[in-house]
Structure 1
Amino acid sequence: MTADQAIEEKNKGNAAYKEKDFAKAHIHYDKAIELDPTNITFYTNKAAVLFEEKRYDECIEMCKKAVDVGRDNQADFKLIAKALARISSSYLKQDNLKDGLIWMEKSLSEYRDPELVKKRVEVAKVLAEKERLEYINPEIAQEEKAKGNEFFKKGDYPNAMKHYQEAIKRDPDNAVLYSNRAACYTKLAEFSLAVADCDTCIKKDPKFIKGYTRKGAALQGMREFGKAQRAYEEALNIEPNNQEARDGLMQCLRNNDEDPEKARERAMQDPEVQAILKDPGMRMILEQMSNDPGAIREHLKNPEILSKLMKLRDAGIVQMR
């Protein structure tokens, strides 16, 4: 009989909740708990009222109580998961994403609610970005850069790398830092990584000369002299009297003594070159160019085609004058 009375009080509480009469809902849920303290639902319903009242800390404590009661009385795991999810929601409402995510994962360990799985991905993404932004500190980045420079001067490139990487995390929009790390990668013969860093550097600051000259140096290390030459030429377009770019360009011209046929064979191993040559549209353009050299002018107006043709030029597949 007591259990039936408890259910009746819960139903009255639900009716009051729907009417947003939260004070009355609390009275009925408290009475239901008094009559049957073993029913998890009474606690989670009361927690729902606290949540609507924005009394999030009290909601969290009530949900924790609900979980304890539920475990002690072998409640359905879905009900326990619901209580854990509401704890998560309370933390999220307080902009505490870290604890919100922790309790969300606890809820999912009880029951993998598809909607909660989606929400977890979203919250994790937002939290990661928030932590990344909070970590940014240009002043500390400069300190890390200075430490990296000291190790670089000593020839201790692995330790220099650690500090440059930390500097980038602290100031990810600083083009200079990617250039510094590229120099380190080049010294460690990680040329492809150096080129990638130089590309990032150039993207962030197209006028920063070191991005181009260090890209040229890395490409020379890969014996990609055509590409290196272009990098130095781009640097000279920005700063015509840049000595480093001039010296690099001259080195490319002197060192580019690779047998053309061998260079072509090596270029054909490049997946990007292979993809371009397999493209039916590009094959048609190349055939047209071979029959009518003047046709290239029209194709150069298309940036995408121009980029592909420049790739083939650097690979020694086509000639462009």
Structure 2
Amino acid sequence: MSSADELKALGNKAFSAKKFDEAIDYFTQAIAASSTPNHVLFSNRSACFTSLHKYDKALEDAEKCVEINKTWAKGYNRIAAAHFGLDNLDEAENAFKSALNLDPNNAMAKQGLKQIETRLTEKNSAPDLGFADKFNDPNLIENLKKNPKTKELMKDPAILEKILKFKQNPQEMATQLLSDPKLMTIFGAILGINLDMPDLSNLSPEANPSAPPPEPATKGPEAIPKEDQDPEISIPDDIEMKNPEEKSKSVPPPVSEPQPEPEPEKIIEEPQEDLAAKADAEKQLGNTLYKQRKFDEAITHYDAAWELKNDITYLNNRAAAEFEKKEYETCIKTCEYAVEQGRELRADYKIVAKSFARIGNAYVKLNDLEKARYFFDKSLTEHRTPLVLNKLRSVEKQIKIQEAEAYVNPEKAEEARLLGKDYFTKSDWPKAVEAYTEMIKRAPDDARGYSNRAAALAKLMSFPEAVKDCNLAIQKDPNFVRAYIRKANAQLAMKEYTGCLDTLEVAKEKDSQINAGKSSYEIDQLFQKAMSQRFAAVEGETPEQTMERVSRDPEVTTILQDPVMQSILSQARDNPAALQDHMKNPQIYKKIMTLISAGVIRTR
């Protein structure tokens, strides 16, 4: 099976050879083969349909192209070309202007607007047969519906559409009056005379020799291939409008399928400025009621504002009132409608961003945090603000908390602890760390998981991480003596002697209070080791140099200058046994052990 790119290339080749039906087939296959909708393929097929004067199908593909990519100016050129072919000049003009809004230098759109202007000039220069005044009668449609001769004809939507068009542009009558018996009957009724004539529309030229010869078939906008400038997608994608001088060779393109239109009296609309002013007045009334927490009344005024003027700000305000009423599902639907309408109206991205943000707020209230995160992210894509960014981060944090809470399972935690113990016994430290990490996730409040992982990390020489885990274990259980001892070991390995001694001091106190001194021997041994290492001689250093360095130690100097310690040391010289009594005080014990380790006090 050929790929979409290969089929597109074949379509381009057929298009260049003006084999439009063949090109349509290739582009259709390429559309089906594409993994994602490709706006360029619909654009190219639209160009083919335009070249075959199948403007309805060309318009359908052009609108699909714009639906896929609303920022591509050429898509709007395709819509304009199809409307031009259907003689929908207002729609064509709007589409060309949309293309220029996206690409001010778009030559195709500029040429198209000139062509439309030429077409309108030609139409306006045609005679109106003196019927303009007759069509200004506001009761024209009703009178025709009541007239026995035209009553049945007025039931035909196509006839009604033509009359409404003639009201706007009477000059168009000149090209259609003599070729349509039904219109002759209607115009006769308008003039008050009988213009009934046999229907000659089904007779061939041979059967009706007096009929004027048929005009040549019309040629609408013609698509001419041109390499697209997009480096990723190369396609034929420009439309060339027929030269104005060629208009004399063609008749107007076929009229599109008629659609019901409003009654004539509704055609005259209120000036847009007045409607906008009234809409804003309704919004202000709604805002006042909103502040008074009269949300139902506020919604009524916001709806009235929207009916007067399509501005999605009014929909956003309505959604805010629904949010305050705790009607979160309704609020979401209103905001989704606001986004949909905002796209069609090309509303400011900032306003669309507010709609997305309000949807996110509603989903937070519904405790659907995943959807809330999605819509906050959509809001930031439209317009980035610190407020919405903070909301997104808050939701992401809550999601992580919920995921962690959902993962908690004491039974699984115990399984992970036993597995970690097995790996630790086998000296498989990395696996032990993994198992204890799983234990922590399954039981985040169990201090043993952090302490056990610290032991495994210490074996891997990851002492800073081991200290962090010990601190977490102590935070979970301040009386967990084993966590203090493991922390002191890690600090000693990092030569943080002062921190190590402080940790051991707390461990000794906790051990005495909780475990009745069960671990006192281990703590004392570690204390002595820390002291000895602290004042140990440096390699290559003489005893005299060591003593001189130790005597300058800030802690040793502070102890020796302490009046209480001076008194205790003086007393110990005369009565060494008295020193043992003083060492029962933990603070004195620590200071005396420091002096012993420093060599200031020598024991026999």
* Distance apart, 1:131 and its partner CA: 4.4
Partner of 2:384: 112
Partner of 1:74: 346
Alignment: residue pair count: 288
Q: Is the 8 A contact 2:454 2:469 kept in 1?
A: yes
Partner of 1:102: 374
- Secondary structure of 1:260's match? coil
Moved more, 175-184 or 200-209: 200-209
Q: Say whether residues 1:186 and 2:462 are aligned partners.
A: no
CA distance in 2, matches of 1:320, 1:51: 77
TM-score by length of 2: 0.40
**Offset from partner CA, 1:137-184 (integer Å, 9 cap, x none):** 333322322232233233322122112112213322211112211221
CA distance in 1, matches of 2:276, 2:599: 85
2:538 equivalent among 241, 257, 262:
262
Amino acid at match of 1:44: N
1:143 equivalent among 406, 415, 425:
415
CA distance in 2, matches of 1:250, 1:40: 76
> Closer, same or farther in 2 for the Cα pair 1:45/1:126, shift >3 Å?
same
* Distance apart, 1:79 and its partner CA: 0.9
CA distance in 2, matches of 1:215, 1:106: 47
Partner of 1:88: 360
CA distance in 1, matches of 2:383, 2:450: 45
> Closer, same or farther in 2 for the Cα pair 1:261/1:29, shift >3 Å?
same
> Closer, same or farther in 2 for the Cα pair 1:204/1:42, shift >3 Å?
closer
* Distance apart, 1:249 and its partner CA: 5.2
Greater share of helix: 1
Q: Provide the identity percentage.
A: 33
Partner of 2:425: 153
Q: Is the 8 A contact 2:283 2:314 kept in 1?
A: no
1:46 equivalent among 318, 325, 343:
318
Amino acid at match of 2:486: R
CA distance in 2, matches of 1:163, 1:60: 44
Q: Is the 8 A contact 1:10 1:28 kept in 2?
A: no
Q: Which runs of 5+ in 1 are unaligned?
A: 266-276, 278-282, 298-305
**Offset from partner CA, 1:73-110 (integer Å, 9 cap, x none):** 32122211221221122122223344334323332333
* Distance apart, 1:8 and its partner CA: 2.2
* Higher-RCO chain (CA-CA 8 Å, sequence separation at least 6): 1
> Closer, same or farther in 2 for the Cα pair 1:50/1:7, shift >3 Å?
farther
The within-5 A match list for 1:1-321 is 1=270, 3=272, 4-5=274-275, 8-9=278-279, 11-12=281-282, 14-16=284-286, 18-19=288-289, 22-34=295-307, 36-37=309-310, 39-219=311-491, 221-222=493-494, 227=500, 231=504, 234=508, 237=512, 238-242=515-519, 246=521, 250=525, 256=532, 260-262=536-538, 289-294=559-564
**Offset from partner CA, 1:201-233 (integer Å, 9 cap, x none):** 334334434324434554565566883797497
Moved more, 7-16 or 77-86: 7-16
> Closer, same or farther in 2 for the Cα pair 1:135/1:18, shift >3 Å?
farther
> Closer, same or farther in 2 for the Cα pair 1:56/1:6, shift >3 Å?
farther
Amino acid at match of 1:60: I
Moved more, 17-26 or 143-152: 17-26
What RMSD in Å do the two structures reach over aligned CA positions? Answer: 4.4
CA distance in 2, matches of 1:193, 1:169: 17
* Distance apart, 1:196 and its partner CA: 3.1
Q: Is the 8 A contact 1:198 1:214 kept in 2?
A: yes
